[in-house]
Amino acid sequence: MNNRIMGVAADPGMGHVKRLLPVAKQLEQDGYELHLCLSRRNCELARAEGFYNLYVLPEITWVENQYGVDIKKSLYNAIRYLAPISQYTYLRLYAQTIEPELIVSDGSVPALRGSNRWEIPSVFITNVIRPQYPFYLQIPFKLPQYFAERYMKKAKKILIADLPFDKAISAYNLGNPYSFNNLEFVGPFIDMKPPVGIKDKKFIYFMPGGTPENKERFRIKGTPLLDKYCKKNDYTWKMSGGRGSGLLEKTELHEIYGYVDVDKRDKFQRECSLMMHNANLLTGFEAIKNLKPSLAIPTKNQPEQKGNARRVQDFGLGVYLREKEFERDLIPSIELIIDNRDYFSKNLREFGAYAEMYDGVGRTVDIIESLV
């Protein structure tokens, strides 16, 4: 045994790598040798976290334009994912070089496919197996899902980065998890204990997701509406994710930031009245941790986010706002949350207390170490 573990995080988005890095850090502390295969941008992030055995992968991901997810191009990428080109070829070369005892894949189907063909055990971390909501998006994703599930069933373990199924935020994205005999719900990959310094200042924190074009589109649409609400109700709003970094624009009613560091982002989350975001799983748990109701606005044609947003609303943790209804229903949705803050706060405290019992990172590390 060489104690080498090969970690792979899918593509340029930060959701996958943010789950993989704390697991990798704990494994290194326990004496394992980690080799991480990531997109170029995420290699820079991992290097800043102190990792040096880094391997660059070409980026293949959802294609988004100013209207949301481009389904045709995204499907092409999903199918190309599985072909013996691009990421798969790189991963094969890296695996031959590293000779790992185990492959840990966060969302990377090519890594799963490779582990099967190269006879290297694998662990698959995910929160998406078979999106079920909305129904019309199930049909075009049938073929990629078929291949993905075929490889998942051959993994040593499928680890769902969420609470058990009846409380899972991602439940609409899992299909029937009980059809897998190698699946376990390990819990959120962040510490769910509420942080010190939670406040309820009269400002709204807006974190649109997706491409720079998508964020800019939401900024343009949202600014007059949020300014109107804030002026009438003596509120302000802050947005992060604009083009650039630092403070980009400031008025009496709003502050618009580009990239913000973790400390500033955490401060905004602790002190706002509500969080507006695109319903990705990590941000949803951050809202629960900080006891903030969510105004969940999924990216158009992104079934994973739509399912998460619907589930947040089902649990009384926030409100699901469809993008096509953004201009019409943004202010009424904010008013609904602010006017019923006691209702949402009660649900957030109860749900958060339940989530605190789970340690996704710790449980994942235990499972990986039992397999190496």
For residue 160, the cross-strand partners are 126, 185
H or E, element range at 283: helix 281-289
Delineate the domains of the chain, giving CATH numbers in brackets.
Answer: 4-187+358-371 (3.40.50.2000), 203-355 (3.40.50.2000)
Please give the average pLDDT of every successive group of 10 residues along the chain, which has 372 residues: 88 80 95 93 88 86 54 59 65 94 92 92 91 61 71 92 95 87 94 91 90 83 95 95 84 92 91 94 95 93 87 97 93 96 96 96 96 90
Peptide bond just before 134 cis, omega within 30 deg: yes
Nearest to 222 by CA among 209, 233, 208, 241: 208
Q: How far is it, in rounded angstroms, from Cα 150 to Cα 143? A: 11
Q: What are phi and psi of 298, to 5 degrees?
A: -65, 150
Helix, strand and coil content of the chain, in percent to the nearest 5, comes to 50, 20, 35
Instruction: Output the pLDDT for position 84.
Output: 38
Q: pTM, whole model, 2 decimals?
A: 0.87
Nearest to 292 by CA among 199, 371, 211, 192: 199
Q: How far is it, in rounded angstroms, from Cα 214 to Cα 307? A: 20
DSSP string, 223-274: HHHHHHHHHHHT-EEEE---SSBSEEEE-SSEEEESB--HHHHHHHHHH-SE
> Residue type at 260?
V
Residue 159, burial from CB neighbour count under 10 angstroms (0-12, 13-18, 19+) = buried
Q: What are phi and psi of 319, to 5 degrees?
A: -125, 135
Instruction: Output the pLDDT for position 266.
Output: 93
Residues near 133 by beta carbon (within 8 Å), at least 6 away in sequence: 172, 173, 303, 306, 307, 310
Instruction: Output the pLDDT for position 83.
Output: 43
